[in-house]
Amino acid sequence: MVQSVQGDADAYGVLNESEYFICYKIGLCYTPHAMAPIVVTSGGSFTDVDALACAVAYAELARLQGKDAVAVLPRPLNHTITKMVQDQRPVFLKVAPTDVSGYVLVDISNPTWVEPFVDHAKVVAVFDHHFGYEDYWRERIGDAAQIEMIGAAATLIWEAWVAAGLEDKISATSANLLSIAIVSNTLNFKVPITSDRDHTAFAALAIHTTLPQGWVGKYLAEVEASIGGDLADILPNDLKIETFAEFDQPIHIAQVEVYDGLAFLTANKQKLIDFMHHQPSPYAFVDIPSMGDEHTYLLAENKEVQDLLSQKLGVSFADNVAVTPTLMLRKMIIKRLRTAD
């Protein structure tokens, strides 16, 4: 099975081109039918554990359903893909095959940031929990666009396994990845966007996982430790660039999820400000969801950005810092910034 090939893959379980070719030829990555494969992919400027889990687990589901399918993730892996995640040996490609029968988008729906190799006319399904582009996809593919307010896109993928009646066939790799993704994207079920569906999926996945006792705490500690490393490496890999009607240039939004937001901000404020100064747009802010006290710290120097955040989130800035009353992730902040008053 795939395990034997994974032994030859590099640290992330990514097959190189020749390994992939061998894998393809002997039918390990997907069953080589005459037809071109479905590519399961995401987008943005980095790959986080949610996108990784979704792409790998959905491709596996599609293969079980008799389709050729492969996960393709060309972006750098960010700090949420820790050693524990890498140890699951997920298999995906960094380059898309040239002959593709259809695309499935996971953890992304903003058309600007979908992988550029994706032909939007060939997208057959979208699974996402970021908002603002539901109509774009519903006009094209109707109910196959599943864009919902939920903690993790991984929950939508697990629900697709259940809907297919194939959940007893899920591999430990996929079950482990989906479980880690749910913990990561909900900040261990603490963000308000977390839904009952995330809890239900996580509980149902438990019998299929092979993660060790106490893995949640260990995973969160790994993420925290990687953030404590080089911020200059972390920030560009978790940056979103969003355009707003009120601004003539995009807003660059960095996010750093930590346990103690205030301590992190105090220790790193100047580095974060320097990072914002290096962005090509004058408009930038950093959001720091803080799991320990369940607030999100916002750092912005630009007055217009401060005004927008103050007006839309009901916060006030002092010394370039504001605090939200509840834990907010960037996707929720962006949604609020886009709503009319």
Q: Which residues bind Mn ion (CB under 5 A)?
A: 50, 107, 153, 185
CB of 99 to Mn ion, least distance (A): 29
When the beta carbons of 223 and 300 are compared against Mn ion, the nearer one is: 223
When the beta carbons of 183 and 322 are compared against Mn ion, the nearer one is: 183
Asked if 49 and 220 count as a contact pair (C-beta separation under 8 A), the reply is no
Reading the block at residue 26, the tokens are 């002997």
CB of 214 to Mn ion, least distance (A): 24
CB of 301 to Mn ion, least distance (A): 28
CB of 257 to Mn ion, least distance (A): 12
d(CA 153, CA 51): 8
When the beta carbons of 29 and 201 are compared against Mn ion, the nearer one is: 201
Neighbours of 95 (CB within 10 A): 11
d(CA 30, CA 334): 38
Residue whose Cβ sits closest to Mn ion: 50
When the beta carbons of 107 and 257 are compared against Mn ion, the nearer one is: 107
Asked if 74 and 94 count as a contact pair (C-beta separation under 8 A), the reply is yes
SS3 288: strand
When the beta carbons of 231 and 329 are compared against Mn ion, the nearer one is: 329
CB of 24 to Mn ion, least distance (A): 29
CB of 129 to Mn ion, least distance (A): 6
Cα distances from 43 to residues 46, 74, 91, 132, in angstroms, run 7, 8, 17, 16
When the beta carbons of 187 and 323 are compared against Mn ion, the nearer one is: 187
Reading the block at residue 285, the tokens are 């802010």
Beta strand spans in 176-315 (E): 239-242, 251-255, 284-290, 295-299
